[in-house]
């Protein structure tokens, strides 16, 4: 049990790494239009953008390998060790991208090195988000587990805010061309600060070391892997299309300047950051499983309205779209970490959650902006990306309803939490 006076330091040390990693990841997504011109000087801007999103997706191909490695470290050696190593690798790769010459300077070698660094980032981040959430629920989540885990989701959202602010600043017409390097350099340096902070926390082993946690997960927890994979697919597609891709959508389809489009994405993610802990608190007082199911249903209904409002092209309607996105995101992400945490016993939890999430992310999440761009270009239909999100929402809802039938009533859930 962590003393209340120490909880703030623990949350800060663990959440800072997640914040920094997602700030960088988001900055790359928001700045895809600019980066496509620097690393893929194609005559067709949409082709260059697809290649830039392709490198974004390639980072996800390394996530399953990272999940196996960091899951093994987290379950066999300790959560702290896994979280420190992942942040160190992320910092080095991020700083390198900030120093990278462009295509004009070194030719095809530039996108190749960018690809390698993005793959290293994908490898590192697979041990970060889920592991950090698990660590906080285990350490401070005795009374309010949804709230404890939600600090990681809120930190990731706030990291996206910072990434969006950086994109907004560097895309201003008055910003020098080299300004895109600054967020990568600062982010890489800050990761090493986070590494030092994590070195100061203590960890008490709560279970005997597991020799091969990966084998146990595959043999005994297939249903749990499916649940985690479904949640990961939905979360990545929803967030990356409705927040990351929406910047390119507003720029290309609605003809907004990039810095204006980034501003709206930032605004939506600020709402997410504020509301996630609130909705996590609500889930702790009621039932996280019931709230999550309702959230999936509401996303399926609401996502087309988000894109329709954006397509109207006026600023009040786009603002309303981002508010709707923020509320829907908070409803599903508030209880999400606790639901993931519940799926595995403590001895294989790091491996199970990281593996299920990373394999699904490699297939669905990294490719989400590419799919959205393809649907928009191919069919010239603004609703294409949103209907993709709605379809995945319904599939995830059906899977969870089938694999986790009849979740406990709110009162029963609270009694169980009090007696555990």
- Report the first-to-last Cα separation within the chain, whole angstroms: 14
- Judge whether 417 lies within some domain: no
pLDDT digits (tens, 9 = 90+) for 353-409: 988 988 888 888 777 877 888 888 776 667 888 999 999 999 999 998 888 755 554
- Judge whether 5 lies within some domain: no
Handedness of CA 220, 358, 395, 158 (dihedral sign): positive
The Cβ of residue 221 has, within 10 Å, a number of other Cβ atoms equal to: 21
Instruction: Answer for the pair 386, 307: CB distance below 8 angstroms, yes or no.
Output: yes
pLDDT digits (tens, 9 = 90+) for 234-257: 999 999 899 888 888 888 888 888
- pLDDT number for residue 416: 45
Share of the chain above pLDDT 90, in %: 27
- Judge whether 420 lies within some domain: no
- What does the H/E/C string look like for 296-341? HHHHHHHHHHHHHHHHCCCHHHHHHHHHHHHHHHHHHHCCHHHHHH
Global pTM?
0.84
pLDDT digits (tens, 9 = 90+) for 141-185: 788 899 999 999 999 889 888 888 887 788 777 888 888 898 889
User: Which of these, 341, 326, 16, lies nearest to 187 by C-alpha position?
Assistant: 16
Range of the domain at 375: 11-200+210-406
- Judge whether 411 lies within some domain: no
Quickly state the pLDDT bin for 418 (edges 50, 70, 90): very low
User: Which of these, 298, 291, 43, lies nearest to 146 by C-alpha position?
Assistant: 291
- What does the H/E/C string look like for 99-140? HCCCHHHHCCHHHHHHHHHHHHHHHHHCCCHHHHHHHHHHHH
Each as own residue / partner, the long-range contacts of residues 414-418 (CB below 8 Å, 24 or more positions apart, any chain) are 414/285, 417/143, 417/145, 417/284
| pLDDT(135) > 80 | yes
Tell which wins on pLDDT, 112 or 316.
Answer: 316
| pLDDT(197) > 80 | no
- Judge whether 227 lies within some domain: yes
Tokens representing 365? 């999440």
- In 62-78, which residue ranges form alpha helices assigned H by DSSP? 63-76
Instruction: Answer for the pair 300, 112: CB distance below 8 angstroms, yes or no.
Output: no
User: Which of these, 121, 38, 76, lies nearest to 351 by C-alpha position?
Assistant: 76
- Judge whether 370 lies within some domain: yes
Write phi, then psi, for 254 (nearest 5 degrees): -100, -10
User: Which of these, 415, 151, 186, lies nearest to 276 by C-alpha position?
Assistant: 151
Tell which wins on pLDDT, 119 or 141.
Answer: 119
User: Which of these, 316, 308, 193, 196, lies nearest to 246 by C-alpha position?
Assistant: 308
User: Which of these, 91, 75, 88, lies nearest to 135 by C-alpha position?
Assistant: 75
Tell me the C-alpha distance between 41 and 366, whole Å.
Answer: 22
Tell me the C-alpha distance between 131 and 337, whole Å.
Answer: 10
| pLDDT(419) > 50 | no
289: domain CATH number?
A: 1.20.1250.20
The predicted model gives 218-230 an average pLDDT of: 90
Tell me which DSSP letter residue 404 carries. Answer: S
Instruction: Please give the radius of gyration of the chain, using alpha carbons only, rounded to the nearest integer.
Output: 20
Angle 222-239/213-220 helices, nearest 10 degrees?
Answer: 100
| pLDDT(10) > 60 | yes
| pLDDT(123) > 90 | no
Residue with tokens 């595995």: 344
Tell which wins on pLDDT, 259 or 284.
Answer: 284
Domain count, the chain: 1
Tell me the C-alpha distance between 28 and 163, whole Å.
Answer: 8
User: Which of these, 361, 298, 286, 29, lies nearest to 183 by C-alpha position?
Assistant: 29
Tokens representing 319? 């603002």
């Amino acid at each position: 049990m962590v003393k209340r006076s120490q909880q703030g330091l623990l949350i800060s040390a663990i959440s800072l790494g997640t914040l920094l990693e997602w700030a960088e990841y988001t900055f790359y997504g928001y700045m895809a239009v600019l980066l496509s011109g620097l690393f893929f000087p194609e005559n067709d801007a949409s082709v260059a953008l697809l290649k830039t999103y392709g490198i974004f997706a390639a980072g996800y191909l390394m996530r399953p390998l990272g999940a196996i490695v960091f899951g093994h470290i987290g379950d066999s050696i300790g959560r702290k060790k896994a979280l420190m190593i992942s942040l160190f690798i992320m910092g080095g790769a991020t700083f390198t991208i900030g120093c990278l010459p462009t295509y004009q300077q070194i030719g095809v070698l530039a996108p190749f090195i960018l690809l390698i660094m993005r793959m290293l980032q994908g490898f590192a981040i697979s041990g970060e988000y889920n592991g950090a959430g698990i660590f906080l629920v285990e350490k401070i989540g005795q009374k309010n587990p949804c709230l404890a885990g939600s600090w990681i989701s809120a930190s990731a959202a706030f990291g996206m805010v910072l990434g969006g602010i950086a994109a907004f600043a560097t895309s201003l017409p008055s910003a020098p061309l080299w300004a895109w390097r600054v967020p990568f350099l600062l982010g890489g340096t800050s990761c090493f600060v986070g590494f030092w902070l994590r070195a100061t926390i203590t960890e008490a082993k709560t279970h005997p070391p597991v020799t091969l946690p990966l084998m146990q997960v595959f043999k005994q927890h297939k249903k749990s892997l499916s649940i985690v994979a479904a949640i990961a697919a939905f979360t990545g597609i929803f967030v990356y299309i409705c927040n990351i891709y929406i910047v390119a959508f507003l720029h290309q389809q609605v003809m907004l300047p990039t810095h204006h489009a980034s501003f709206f994405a930032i605004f939506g993610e600020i709402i997410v950051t504020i509301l996630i802990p609130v909705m996590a608190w609500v889930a702790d007082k009621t039932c996280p499983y019931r709230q999550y199911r309702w959230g999936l249903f509401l996303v399926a209904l609401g996502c087309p309205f988000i894109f329709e409002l954006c397509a109207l092209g006026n600023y009040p309607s786009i603002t309303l779209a981002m508010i709707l996105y923020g509320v829907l995101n908070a409803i599903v992400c508030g209880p999400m970490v606790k639901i993931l945490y519940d799926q595995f016993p403590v001895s294989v939890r790091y491996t199970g959650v990281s593996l299920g999430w990373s394999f699904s992310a490699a297939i669905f999440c990294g490719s989400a902006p590419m799919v959205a761009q393809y649907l928009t270009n191919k069919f010239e239909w603004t609703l294409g990306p949103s209907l993709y999100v709605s379809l995945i929402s319904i599939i995830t809802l059906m899977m969870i309803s089938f694999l986790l039938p009849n979740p406990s009533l709110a009162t029963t859930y609270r009694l169980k939490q009090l007696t555990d």
